[in-house]
Structure 1
Amino acid sequence: MTTQDKIALVTGATRGIGLETVRQLAETGVHVLLAGRDRGKAVDAALKLQSQGLPVEAIGLDVTDADSIASAVQQVEARHGRLDILINNAGILLDDPAQKVSGQSQQTWRKTFDTNVFGVIATTQAFLPLLHKSAAGRIVNVSSILGSNALHSDPASFIYDFKVPAYNVSKSAVNAWTVQLAYELKDSTIKVNTIHPGYVQTDMNGGEGEISVPEGARTSVRLALIDEDGPNGGYYYRDEVLPW
C-alpha cells in the first residue's frame, strides 16, 4: 500500500503537534482526517491545508464523548470504508504547579484521565474494526517521556524533579495500554506504538519547549508509516527506544 492510498485520522489536530502531524502526513500523500473537538476549528484548519494542495478532511471528534466518537466512526466508514492510521494525539495537562503530588485535586485527576487515558482507549476501541479492514493498520499513541516510571524513579534522571502527577501517571497508563493492545494485535497486520514527541514549544507548556513543533511531529509520522518489519508495542522518541 502506497502512502497515497492510506487514510489517517489524527485526534486533537486543530493546533500544535496534532495539526503539524496532519500536515506532514498529508505531504507524503496520505489522505488525513483532521479531527477536533470543535468541528468549526477543524474545518478552518483543514481549509488552510487544502488551500496548500494537501489532501486533508475535517471531522468533529471529542474523545471524551461516546456519541461523538460513534458519529466519527460512522462517517469514516461511510466515506472510506476503513482506516489505515490512527494517531491518538489529543491530550491535556491540568496539574496545579503550586500543589504537591498529593495535593492535586480529584477533579484534576479525573479530567486528565478522561481525556488522556479513557479517551485514547475509547477512540481506539471504536476505530479498531475499521483498522482491521486495512491491509496494514497503524496506531500511534502520543505519550511523553514523563510517562516513564524508570526515569521518574531514577534520581540521576533529568525528569526526576518534574512531577506533574496527574499528567505523568496518565501517560504511564497510555504506555501500559499500548503494551496490552500490542499483545492482542501481535498476530494481526496492525501495529501499535507509543511515542514521546520531545519537549516541544507548544501552548501546553507556554512555548518553553526545546524543539519546534515540526520536529515534535516527526516521531508520530515515522511510526505511522512503518512497514511490516516495523516495531509493535514500543516506546520511542525519534529512533531511540525509551525506558518504560
Structure 2
Amino acid sequence: MSYSRVGVVTGANKGIGLAIVRQLALQYPKSPLNSGSFLIYLTARDKSRGEGALKDLQEDAQLKKAKALKVDGGISEIKYHALDVTDINSIKTFTEYLKQAHGEGIDFVINNAGIAMNGFVDTNVVKTTLGCNYYSTLEASHTFLSLLKPHGRLINVASTAGKLGQFSEEIRNRFLASKTEADVTDLMKDFQSAVDAGREKEAGFPSAAYAVSKAGLIGATRALAYSEKENGSTALINSCCPGYVNTDMTKGNGVKTPDEGAQTPVFLALQDIKGATGTFWRNEQVQEW
C-alpha cells in the first residue's frame, strides 16, 4: 500500500518517543502538510517492547476518540520496526527496508533515541554516552538523509542541558565557531581525552557526559544543515529540546508530561517552520544556543 506521507521515530517504545508517535497521529489531520494517508514507523531496539507499544497505541483511548488511526476510520497508520541506532547493521537493515518499501522516499525522521547514564563521569560513561547520543545519532542522520524526499525533515532531539553557558569561554567559542561536523567531533574527542586524564573541568568542560553529548548534537546538527544547504539540499535539519519531561530518564522528576514534551518535535515535523534549518528549538520557538 502506498502512503502520502511517511515518518520515522527512533527510540519510540516509551516516554517521549511513544508520545511523539501518538501526537503525530493526533495532529496530522490538521497539519498544513496533510496530503492524505500517513504512515508512522515506531522503532525500538527490543521487539517485544516495540510491539507492546504499538498495541498500546492501537488501543489508546485518546486516539480512538479522535478516530486518528485507520482501524478507527482515520488516515494514520502506525507500524513497528526494529532499530538500534548504536548498531550500524541495524541502521542499514532498516534503511534498506525503507528503500524497498518507499522507493519515492520518506518525509521526516525524528531521532529521539538516546541515553542518560547514572553514576560518576568516567571514561566508560563518556564513551558510551557520546557513542549513542552523538556518534550513532549522526550516523543515523546521514543514512536517513539519503532517503528523504525533497523538502524532507530531520529532527534530532537534543536538550537544553547542551546549552553553552556551562562551558568555559574558550570551549564555548569553539562550539559557536564550528562550521563542520569535524569541528564538533574534535570537541567531543577533547572532552573524552580530558575525562580520561581526570581534567575535564580544567579543560573547560562540565563533568556531565549527557550535557556535552547534547551540546555536540546541537552543534553537529547545525553543521550538517549548513553543509546540506551548501550542497543544494532542500532538507530542513534542526535540533530541539522537549523540555524537562517526567520519564524514566529524569527518574520521574520532570515537570512536563510526555505528550507535552512531544509538542516541539511534532511541530518541527508537521508544521510550517518557514524554511528554518540549522536551528535549535524549544517550546515551538527557536532558542539561542
TM-score with structure 1 setting the length? 0.86
Q: Map 1:86-165 onto structure 2 (within 5 A).
A: 86-96=109-119, 99=120, 104-131=121-148, 134-150=149-165, 165=208
Selected match of 1:207 from 239, 249, 252: 252
Give percent identity, aligned residues only. 37
Q: What is the deviation of 1:18?
A: 0.3
Contact 1:63-1:123 within 8 A present in 2 as well = yes
Structure 1 residue matching 2:86: 3-state secondary structure: coil
Query: What SS does the corresponding residue of 1:33 show, helix, strand or coil?
Result: strand
Match of 1:83 in 2: 106
Paired with 1:212 and 1:48, the residues of 2 have a C-alpha distance of: 17
Unaligned stretches of 5+ in structure 1? Answer: 155-162
2:239 and 2:55 map into 1 onto residues whose CA distance is 29
2:111 alignment partner AA: N
Aligned CA-pair RMSD:
1.9
Q: Structure 2: which amino acid aligns with 1:124?
A: S
Q: Judge which range, 178-187 or 114-123, deviates more.
A: 178-187
Q: Which runs of 5+ in 2 are unaligned?
A: 30-37, 70-75, 170-205
Provide the residue aligned with 1:185 in structure 2.
228
Paired with 2:4 and 2:248, the residues of 1 have a C-alpha distance of 33
Residue 239 of structure 2 aligns to a residue in which SS?
A: strand
Structure 1 runs (4+) greater than 4 angstroms displaced: 151-154
Measure the CA separation in 2 of the matches of 1:73 and 1:240.
31
Does the alignment pair 1:32 with 2:40? Answer: yes
**What CA deviation, in whole Å up to 9, does each residue of 1:21-67 have, x standing for no partner?**
01111221531100001122112212332344351000100001011
Q: Report the equivalent of 2:178.
A: none
Q: Which amino acid aligns with 2:94?
A: A
Structure 1 residue 47 corresponds to structure 2 residue 61: no
**1:60 partnered with 2:86:** no
Instruction: Determine if contact 1:151/1:243 at 8 Å carries over to the other structure.
Output: no
Aligned counterparts of 1:176 and 1:119: Cα–Cα separation in 2: 15
C-alpha deviation, 1:229, in angstroms? 2.2
Deviation at 1:164, TM superposition (A): 5.7
Partner of 1:167: 210
The change in CA–CA distance for 1:153 and 1:226 in structure 2 (over 3 A counts) is farther
Contact 2:267 2:284 in 1 (8 A): no
Q: Distance in 1 between matches of 2:9 and 2:88?
A: 17
Aligned-partner Cα distance in 1 for 2:247–2:161: 16
* Structure 1 residues 94 and 116, CA gap change in structure 2 (3 angstroms): same
Quick check: 1:150–1:243 contact (8 Å CA) kept in 2? no
| 8 A contact 1:12–1:18 mirrored in 2 | yes
Task: Classify the secondary structure of the residue corresponding to 1:204.
Answer: coil
**TM-score (normalizing by structure 2):** 0.73
Query: Match of 1:177, as an amino acid?
Result: A
Give the equivalent residue in structure 2 for 1:158.
none
Q: Give, in angstroms, the shift of residue 152 of structure 1.
A: 5.6
CA contact (8 A) 1:85 1:138 kept: yes
Q: Deviations over 1:100-155 (max 9, x none)?
A: xxxx1111001101110111111111112111xx132101110000100136669x
C-alpha contact 2:160 2:241 (8 A) present in aligned 1: yes
